[in-house]
Structure 1
């Protein structure tokens, strides 16, 4: 079967008719393809079809046909087609595989799908890494040569783009051990494709420029998969998110402009990594000094919670309105979930509070903070005040600590009448058995009483404090008698 316009039309029409809801044209198309499959070079013709931009809607159907054809006609040979230097064939195979593996992104996670994924990983993951690394070497050679063959370089870049898309599909549901163990090999090249300029392609016209832009985009999706699915691997998660943060503040920040990417970042990276984990609760209860050091003194720079918020900060440098929209929607969803079942979903409210606090910007030359993600007074009244007024001192202490931290951070935004009405409630928390809670309460009172107005005068006077001074001093000295708080 020779490749020519007639073959293109024939195959395109056949694959189009296989999608027809009418029985007769579908049967005729299937019979025609079955007959054509016995002709020489049929598989190569189908691969060439993948490279045609005009047949995008037919690729899934053609990919399935190609897979079935290989099963029926291709006897195993020692030579792997992916090891060839003919990148028309290599890219044809990768395009077919990319289309087949896309199902791992769009289908629900089931045991059957996981078995399919395991089979694909066992059969193809090693070969994918090999072709990825080999092509990376070819690209380095091509870029380093004096006379760059643009058409050859295009085929190499397209190959890497396809490898990155396949990488994304195979890592979408979870991070397989094969990729985890070899992540450095991928990351080295990912970093290169996000920083190196390919001037020969960029100067070759719109097609070359588009291809240069598509490769970093494919890399980004791969990084998103790693950052989303490595939740049990602290170092890998932090590294991947830091990588994304660096990209968000580079010349490639436009990769984050798409709504679908921002949505996935919020849903699959930020929220899961900001949500409290069992180890956070254990640290809160068993080592409160270290918890406070990380949470309130800013030594949590390399924790997943902080680095996930830093990613949002990085993206917001260029897309603040979009970030505000996405984060606000996520926060509303979290608070709605909490309202539906406060006992089971208290961590959702804590997550919303942490997001607000972590994304607040400190004003230059002072301790005041600001944020344009939400209305401070409204959030304080609807989300924070109920926690401060809760009479159950030791119920959900991490949520209480988060509310006290919020009050402390946004103390300048809270009007004096509201703050004065809540001060007795804060004093009440000095009696909590949680070292973190009564420490945060003491810190909140201290910083609140030091607030100054715009003219530099103290907002709260001795007369204001005298109303609850006795209760305050009594509670403070009582807190000093609690276990491990003797020197607090």
Structure 2
């Protein structure tokens, strides 16, 4: 075991080395397949002789291993039961004794295990935690409480359910009384150790954890134990909101345990104000005064940042309850709030200016992208806007006086003007600044366009203007972009673009953000406010300049630091579509490939490389069919290197782009360069990474129709169907399985498919037995119709399907057709699916011997269902998908987890019969031809097998 531990430790150390991390990560993947790997990682974590960074890397690797390998989709253990028991037995004790950074990782691992096992498969855990609590050793107790919080915090975002309620009751039953007792213990120990810095800090952390648990235990419903003890608990909350100790004086930057405790108390107060007004309402007034006193007594130092924002969030919660909000409904009170709380917290501080200069990208993310949810500015703005919701006219009047004062002062002091602009932004916008539209509703008592032209426009292009004033001007345009008309934007876009030439990092980045959002902006008809014609004249220079900014520093970390620039490049390419062919597309490609080759060395910013591949996807979408450029010649080499080096972060993007190139290529053959990829894709290894599955399935589906001959000659159909079988076994990949199956069934003739078809149908049917989802049944119906609709091609059609189904079990087709195919098809929503159903039903009526003779009633049912589909004949739009590319906002995308789709490469629904345009006309021609071919048999079946009303509806199709 010792040598194993050393070997894993060496590999973990190598993953921290930028030059060797890829090789080490691949070696660890191989180690992870061996038995006891998780236990070896825990041994590394627990070995105190190992360096701290190695133990932390082991804890991180353990957490990630547990996330992917602990249980399957059904909740069954993927690890041996002995390993599971050992992990549960050792993990809690290890976390309790570990240093804080390692505790965090192990806490997340415990939370993952708890998701599947707590509480019924780990019902001893709560009791075990209670037994470990110590009234005298804060280190042990804090470890125990950290474990408890890591499990119970999972409840906070969940919707109520019987199962969840049972879990909470189980916890409260065991943990409730010790929790209440522990509050008294911690309070006593804080008093007893008020002059002992180490112990005081430790017991304040205990109280902090107890307040977090107070929140966890109350987040779903108010437990009786807390309801009973609410009054004494509120006394503790009051006490520690007001608590001071000279031992913490002198700290400047980092929050002490005292500020953290007060922040946690404000969090709990916010929950109780929002959720339990009946029980807690009588305490709100006193806590409002108490929190107000806290805000009035703390300064601008960074150590108070989180406490300030949490305190303001509590006051926002108070202002959200109308009867409590009345305490603010007074001009003098509002004046005091604005002067004493709002203005000090929206005004720029030295720490903001330092961040502006020293960490510009962090300044931007915090200020503009909403990652400053715990910043003073954001919290003060949210509080002011909540007051505005309640008392719009009064708040506008009070704040406007301060805005005018700071505008006047701002004539000689740019910081004062920044405060004025920020106050105006806060009261002019009603509701949040949305990602898509900016501010959608404005305060009717102000004029945002006049304010811009009078006070801000001059800063946009003025010489010698402070960078932050320029940023304010750009941000103003960004926030109120929906409020400007098209003609106003036509005047504003060029000055905005000119700010990309600024030497200041924050200014040019803000300009890129604003340009990108304006190009994204659409009117109510879904048309771009600034369409391609407005941007095309600037596009070439704009793209070149953006690439220059991205490539200023070509080290992998710095080059991919600024995702906002890459997002702007992506947006320009999406808006100008094939207009990029006029913008020196070779240069654009050279830049994109250069960037690819740099960042693949160490992908570190998922947002940047997502936008990067969307930009490449835009070129593929709009230019791949152009005779002016051969995109594959540019992309193949760098992309094959990515696959060869197994840059796992990029592989799913590469296969999406390759698939799109194939789908858009009108030729019926595959470029020779792609053939070398097929064997690699058919091997098991690439499919082991879940994020690879959707793009690989799509790539194979695109390859199959173009390599029919090669696949048969190389005997590759069987491995393809093995992949289908493996994917069908999991709910998460069954849709990808059907993508591959449809490509196979749509490509090969019945004689080729016959040897495999019984197994395919058996697999499909067996999943229908176990409570299938509607989406599964929908794919089964599409698969059936695809086979049925190919009647007339060698060996296929409804009879081919029926023969192989009946080989499995006699008479199995009838219930399958009646309970799955007919009802599911009638629920098809997509025109392309309904069109396939129409073709399948029509060919069944005309070509199937089984329906002609054996299933006479079924013939009638089929005819009626066909007529239902023809009431609104499906019309399928040609093309690759929607013209406007609305990529998902990246904040909604879980990067690094699973698969991130490229919206520029999104496929339209698969149309297997693109040559059939007017479906009802085709049905008429097909029925008439079949009737003639069979000497009137179809007409006879119509009179014999369907009701007179249906006959009347069908008559025009045969006339």
Scaled by the length of structure 1, the TM-score of the pair is 0.53
Which one has the largest radius of gyration? Answer: 2
Change in Cα spacing, 1:436 to 1:198, as seen in structure 2 (3 Å) is: closer
Question: Equivalent residue for 2:319?
Answer: 248
Task: Give, in whole Å, the separation in 2 of the partners of 1:447 and 1:245.
Answer: 29
Asked if the contact 2:421/2:472 (under 8 Å) is kept, the reply is yes
* C-alpha displacement of 1:387: 1.0
Task: Give, in whole Å, the separation in 1 of the partners of 2:262 and 2:493.
Answer: 55
RMSD value over aligned CA atoms? 4.0
1:324 paired to 2:392: no
Question: Which deviations, in whole Å up to 9, do the C-alpha atoms of 1:129-169 show, x marking residues without a partner?
Answer: xxxxxxxxxxxxxxx9xxxxxxxxxxxxxxx9xxx9xx99x
Identify the range of structure 1 (399-408 vs 368-377) with the bigger mean alpha-carbon deviation.
368-377
* C-alpha displacement of 1:258: 1.7
> Out of 361, 374, 378, which is 1:289 matched to?
361
- The within-5 A match list for 1:123-272 is 220-231=288-299, 232=301, 233-250=304-321, 251-272=323-344
* C-alpha displacement of 1:187: 11
Secondary structure in 1 matching 2:391: helix
Change in Cα spacing, 1:455 to 1:301, as seen in structure 2 (3 Å) is: same
> Out of 343, 347, 351, which is 1:279 matched to?
351
> Out of 455, 472, 485, which is 1:402 matched to?
472
Secondary structure in 2 matching 1:252: helix
> Out of 456, 461, 468, which is 1:389 matched to?
461
* C-alpha displacement of 1:378: 0.7
* C-alpha displacement of 1:338: 0.3
Question: Equivalent residue for 1:429?
Answer: 499
Change in Cα spacing, 1:219 to 1:416, as seen in structure 2 (3 Å) is: same
Task: Give, in whole Å, the separation in 2 of the partners of 1:268 and 1:230.
Answer: 11
1:463 paired to 2:533: yes
* C-alpha displacement of 1:303: 0.8
* C-alpha displacement of 1:247: 1.6
Change in Cα spacing, 1:224 to 1:363, as seen in structure 2 (3 Å) is: closer
Task: Give, in whole Å, the separation in 2 of the partners of 1:438 and 1:447.
Answer: 14
1:338 paired to 2:410: yes
- The within-5 A match list for 1:413-428 is 413-428=483-498
Asked if the contact 2:345/2:380 (under 8 Å) is kept, the reply is yes
Task: Give, in whole Å, the separation in 2 of the partners of 1:380 and 1:416.
Answer: 16
Task: Give, in whole Å, the separation in 1 of the partners of 2:310 and 2:292.
Answer: 12
Question: Equivalent residue for 1:304?
Answer: 376
Question: Equivalent residue for 1:439?
Answer: 509
Task: Give, in whole Å, the separation in 2 of the partners of 1:266 and 1:438.
Answer: 32
Task: Give, in whole Å, the separation in 2 of the partners of 1:285 and 1:324.
Answer: 33
> Out of 409, 416, 434, which is 1:348 matched to?
416
* C-alpha displacement of 1:320: 2.0
Asked if the contact 2:438/2:478 (under 8 Å) is kept, the reply is no
Task: Give, in whole Å, the separation in 2 of the partners of 1:389 and 1:364.
Answer: 26
Change in Cα spacing, 1:241 to 1:420, as seen in structure 2 (3 Å) is: same
* C-alpha displacement of 1:355: 3.1
Change in Cα spacing, 1:363 to 1:401, as seen in structure 2 (3 Å) is: closer
* C-alpha displacement of 1:454: 2.8
Asked if the contact 1:405/1:440 (under 8 Å) is kept, the reply is yes
Scaled by the length of structure 2, the TM-score of the pair is 0.28
Asked if the contact 1:306/1:358 (under 8 Å) is kept, the reply is no
Task: Give, in whole Å, the separation in 1 of the partners of 2:505 and 2:402.
Answer: 31
Task: Give, in whole Å, the separation in 2 of the partners of 1:429 and 1:188.
Answer: 44
Gapped runs of 5+ residues in structure 2?
1-227, 229-234, 251-255, 563-959
Gapped runs of 5+ residues in structure 1?
1-143, 145-159, 200-211
Task: Give, in whole Å, the separation in 2 of the partners of 1:474 and 1:365.
Answer: 26
Change in Cα spacing, 1:480 to 1:353, as seen in structure 2 (3 Å) is: same
State how many pairs are aligned.
Answer: 302
* C-alpha displacement of 1:225: 3.4
Question: Which deviations, in whole Å up to 9, do the C-alpha atoms of 1:350-389 show, x marking residues without a partner?
Answer: 2232234445224889524222052111111112211112
Task: Give, in whole Å, the separation in 2 of the partners of 1:469 and 1:454.
Answer: 25
Identify the range of structure 1 (472-481 vs 299-308) with the bigger mean alpha-carbon deviation.
472-481
Asked if the contact 2:384/2:426 (under 8 Å) is kept, the reply is no
Asked if the contact 2:437/2:521 (under 8 Å) is kept, the reply is no
Structure with higher RCO (Cα < 8 A, 6+ apart): 1
Task: Give, in whole Å, the separation in 2 of the partners of 1:296 and 1:368.
Answer: 11
Question: Equivalent residue for 2:717?
Answer: none
Change in Cα spacing, 1:367 to 1:461, as seen in structure 2 (3 Å) is: closer
Question: Which deviations, in whole Å up to 9, do the C-alpha atoms of 1:325-356 show, x marking residues without a partner?
Answer: 222222122111102x1xxx212222232234
* C-alpha displacement of 1:301: 0.8
> Out of 509, 518, 521, which is 1:448 matched to?
518
Change in Cα spacing, 1:447 to 1:364, as seen in structure 2 (3 Å) is: closer
Secondary structure in 2 matching 1:439: helix
